[in-house]
Structure 1
Amino acid sequence: MLPEYHRQSASLRARLILPATLVLLVTVIGTLGYAWLGREQGATLLDALFMTVITITTIGYGEVIRLDAAGRIFTMGIAITGIGSLFYSLTVIMDNLVGSRLLDPFGEKKMQREVRKLKDHIIIAGLGRVGKQAAAELEESKVPFIIVDPRPEVHGYAVQRDYLSMQGDASDDAVLEQAGIYRAKGLIVTSGDDASNLYIVLSARVLRPDLFIVSRAVDESSVSKLIRAGANRAISPYAIGGRRLAHLILSPTVIDFFDTVIRKGEESINLEGIEVRGDARAVGQSLAGLKLREKTGASVLVVMRGNRVLPNPEPELVLHPGDRLLALGTVEQLDRLEALVGE
C-alpha cells in the first residue's frame, strides 16, 4: 500500500506544478501590468497587486485603478487566465486530499512514522480477546506498544482506539523488524493457535536473543514447548482463570489486594519488580546501608536471587548483580527506588 501511496502522491504533486506556476505568473504579470496602467494615477504596487487578486479570485471589491479600454482588455485576459489556473489548482489540491485519504484510509504513512519513534515498547502479536485485554492494561499503564495482526478488521479496531498497529504475520522476520523488535522491551504473543505462537516465539528469539517474551498457551501441554522455543513465560489463560476463581473463594481479600497493587494506573499503591543491574551503584551494598525505606518510602517485600526467593529480607542482606526486588509503594516512591538501585 505504501509504495502505491507514494507513487500517487508524487503524480498529484506533479500535476499541481503547471497550474500553480500559471497562477504565480499571472499574479506577477497582473501586478506589473496594473502598476503600469495606473502609473499616472499614483498607483502603488500594493494597489496593483490588489487589482490582480480581486480579478483572479472574482471578489470584486471595487477598482482602485481607473481602467480605460486597454485596461479592460488587459483585465479580461488576466481574469480568463488567472481564474482558470486558480480553480484548476484548487481542483488538483482537493483531488490530492481525497486521493490520499482513499489510498491511505487508516493513516499508514503517519503510523509508520510513529512506529519508527518507538523505543522500549511492547509488541503484541495477535489482537483477540486476550490481546485486547493486554492492550488495555498497557494503555492504562501508559506503556508504549504496537499490535501486529494479519486480519484487516483487527487493524480497523486498533485504529478506532488509537492503537499503533501493523497488518502482518508476526512470525515473519520482516514484520517483526518493521514493528521495531530491535528496540522493543518485550513481546506478548496472544494468538489463539499454539502452532502460530510457537513460530512467532522462535522468530522473535532468533532476532532478539535478549528479548523478554511472554506467550499464551491455548493448551496446557504447550507451555513447556513454548518455553523450549524461547519464551521466558508461557501462560494458559484457562488455567490462570481457573486458579483465580478458586482463590477468589478461598482468599478473596488477598486477591483484592493483588488486583489493587499490580494495576499501574492511577492507583495509590503499586507492586513493582526492579532489577539490580551489574553496573548499579547498589551492588555490594546492604539494604540497611542503602536506607531504601528512608530515601524512597518504598518497602522491599521480597528479593529474588536466581531461583531463590528471599521474603522479608534482612537489613544486612547485600545486593548482588541480577537481584530482583519486589517492592510496594506509590508510583513516585517506586521511581525513586528504581533510580537508587537500578542505575
Structure 2
Amino acid sequence: MPRRLLLPLFLVFATVLLGTLGFYLLWKDQGATWLDALYMTFITITTIGYEEVYPLDSTGRILAMLVASVGVGSLFYLFSVIMDTVVSLRLEGTWRQREMNRISNHVIVVGLGRMGRQAALELKASGIPVVALDPSENAHQFAQENHILLFNKDGTEDQSLIEAGILRAKGLIATTSNDATNLLVVLSARTLKPDLFIVARASDESAIPKLLKAGANRAISPYAIGGRRLAHLILSPRVVDFFETVLTGKESFSLEEILIQKGSPLDGLALGELQARGCQASVLAVFRGAEPLPRPPLDFRLLAHDRILALGTTQQLEQLEKLASAVSSEP
C-alpha cells in the first residue's frame, strides 16, 4: 500500500504547492500572505465554495480552474487507491481464512528467501499444500505470482504459526538466513506440535547440533551440500548427470518414502512378489525401525509400519503408495 500511495500523494502535494505559489504571486501586490494563498488552494481543491480571499482576474480564474481540476482528480485518485487497498485486504483476508479452514497435511515454509522459494516451489510441484510465513514485501509478490498461501507475519511468533495451521501441518521448513531465527522457529514449532517433522537451514555448520537439540528432525547446511555437489561433478560427472536427467527429465523419476499401513496388500508380501501385484517401481531400501536395509533380497517380506524407499515414475509411485495404504479385502 505505501508504494501505491506515492503517486497520488505526490500529485496532491504538487497541486497544493503550485496552487499556493500561484495565488500568492497573483495577490502579492494586494497584501496577501502565504496563508491566504494556501487557504484559497484548499477551498478550491476541496470544492467547499467559500468566497475568494481576494478578487480574481482572468488569469486567477484560469489558475483556480486548473487547481480545482487537478486537485479534485488527485484527491479522488488518492481515495480510490486507499479504498481499493482496504477492500482487497479484506477480501484477501477472507480468502486466506477460507483456504486455511480447508487445508491440512501441509508444509509450513518460514522464510521465502532463495532457499525458501525453491523449497516452496518443489513442494507445490509435488502436489503438497504449502503455507508460507514471511513479513517482507518481496515474499508477498512471489506468493501472488506462484499462488502460494502467505501470511506476512513473523514465523518466530506462536500466534503466527497457529494461524498458519501448524496443528494440522505435516511438516515445517525453517529457511531464514539467520541461524538464531531458525533456532527460535524450531523451538516454537516443537513446543506447539511435538510430533511435527521439522527441517531447518543452518548457515553455519556449527549451528546444526543446536538446531537438532532444539527439536529439528533434520538440519542442513546449503553450503556444505553445494560444496559436495561441486566435488562430485569433478569426481563423478556422469553419475551426477545421470541423476539430473532421471530426476528432472521429461519422464520425471522420483524417490519417495512410502509407509506400509497395517492390513494393506503389501503387509507380509515378499519383494519378489511386487511385480505380480502390478508394481513397477524399484525398491532401493526398506526402513524397519531406525535401521535402513539397503538393497533387500527378493525373498525379504515387508511388514506393516515398514517404510519403503522407492524409485520410479509418478504413476509407478502412486500405484505403490495405493497398494501400501489400501486395506486388504482378503480375510
Q: TM-score, normalised by structure 1?
A: 0.66
- What is the letter of the counterpart of residue 125 of structure 2? E
Most deviating of 195-204 and 155-164: 155-164
- Displacement of 1:231: 0.9
Q: Distance in 1 between matches of 2:250 and 2:103?
A: 24
- Work out which of the residue numbers 138, 145, 151 in structure 1 matches 2:136: 151
- SS of 2:132's equivalent in the other structure is strand
Aligned mates of 2:279, 2:80 — CA distance in 1: 53
- Alignment of 1:197 onto 2:188: no
150-159 or 222-231, which moves further after superposition?
150-159
Q: Structure 1 pair 266/212, CA: closer, same or farther in 2 (3 Å)? A: farther
Asked whether 1:329 is paired with 2:317, we answer no
How far 1:163 moved relative to its partner? 1.8
C-alpha root-mean-square deviation of aligned residues, in Å? 2.6
- Identity among equivalent positions (%) equals 49
Where do 1:70-149 residues align within 5 Å? 101-105=84-88, 107-149=92-134
Tell which deviates more after alignment, 149-158 or 169-178.
Answer: 149-158
**Whole-angstrom distance in 1 between the partners of 2:304 and 2:83:** 53
- CA drift of 1:261 comes to 4.5
* CA drift at 1:101: 2.6
2:281 maps to which residue?
298
SS in structure 2 opposite 1:123?
strand
- Report if aligned partners of 1:217, 1:236 keep a CA contact under 8 Å in 2: yes
Contact 1:260–1:270 (CA under 8 A) maintained in structure 2:
no
Greater shift, 224-233 or 316-325, is seen at 316-325
Alignment size in residue pairs:
248
Paired AA for residue 85 in structure 2: L
Matched, 1:271 2:271: no
Q: Distance in 1 between matches of 2:253 and 2:141?
A: 35
Cα distance between partner residues in 1 of 2:108 and 2:100: 11
Q: Distance in 1 between matches of 2:112 and 2:174?
A: 9
- Residue 191 of structure 1: how far off its partner (Å): 0.8
Using the TM superposition, give the Cα deviation of residue 242 of structure 1 relative to its aligned residue in structure 2, in angstroms: 0.3
Measured at CA, do residues 293 and 137 of structure 1 come closer, stay the same or move farther in structure 2, by a change above 3 Å?
Answer: farther
Pairwise CA distance, 1:97: 9.0
CA deviation after TM superposition for structure 1 residue 308, in Å: 2.7
Deviates more, 1:99-108 or 1:306-315: 99-108
Give the whole-Å Cα distance in 2 for the aligned partners of 1:188 and 1:341.
27
**1:123-272 equivalence runs, <5 A:** 123-263=108-248, 267-272=251-256
**SS of match in other structure, 1:182:** helix
Cα distance between partner residues in 1 of 2:80 and 2:262: 54
- Give me the whole-angstrom Cα distance separating, in 2, the residues matched to 1:248 and 1:184: 36
CA distance in 1, matches of 2:140, 2:225: 28
CA distance in 2, matches of 1:280, 1:173: 38
Counterparts of 1:211 and 1:292, CA distance in 2: 34
Q: Decide whether aligned partners of structure 1 residues 142 and 104 sit closer, same or farther in structure 2, where only a CA change above 3 A counts.
A: farther
Q: In structure 2, do the counterparts of structure 1 residues 182 and 97 end up closer, same or farther at CA, with 3 Å as the change threshold? A: farther
1:177 is displaced (CA, Å) by: 1.1
Quick one: which amino acid aligns to residue 219 of structure 2?
Answer: A
Structure 1 unmatched ranges of 5 or more: 2-95
- Per the TM alignment, residue 105 of structure 1 is displaced from its structure 2 partner at its CA by 4.0
Determine the structure 2 residue equivalent to 1:13.
Answer: none
Could you say which residue in structure 1 is the equivalent of 2:74? none
DSSP-derived class of the 1:222 partner: helix
Partner residue, 1:79: none
For the residue of structure 2 that corresponds to 1:139, the secondary structure is: helix
Cα distance in 1 for residues equivalent to 2:144 and 2:222:
26
Kept in 2: contact 1:275–1:322 (CA 8 A): yes
Secondary structure of residue in 2 paired with 1:273:
strand
Once the two structures are TM-superposed, the CA of residue 201 in structure 1 deviates from its matched residue by 0.8
Distance 2:234 2:221 in 1: 21
Whole-Å separation in 2 of the counterparts to 1:244 and 1:292 = 34
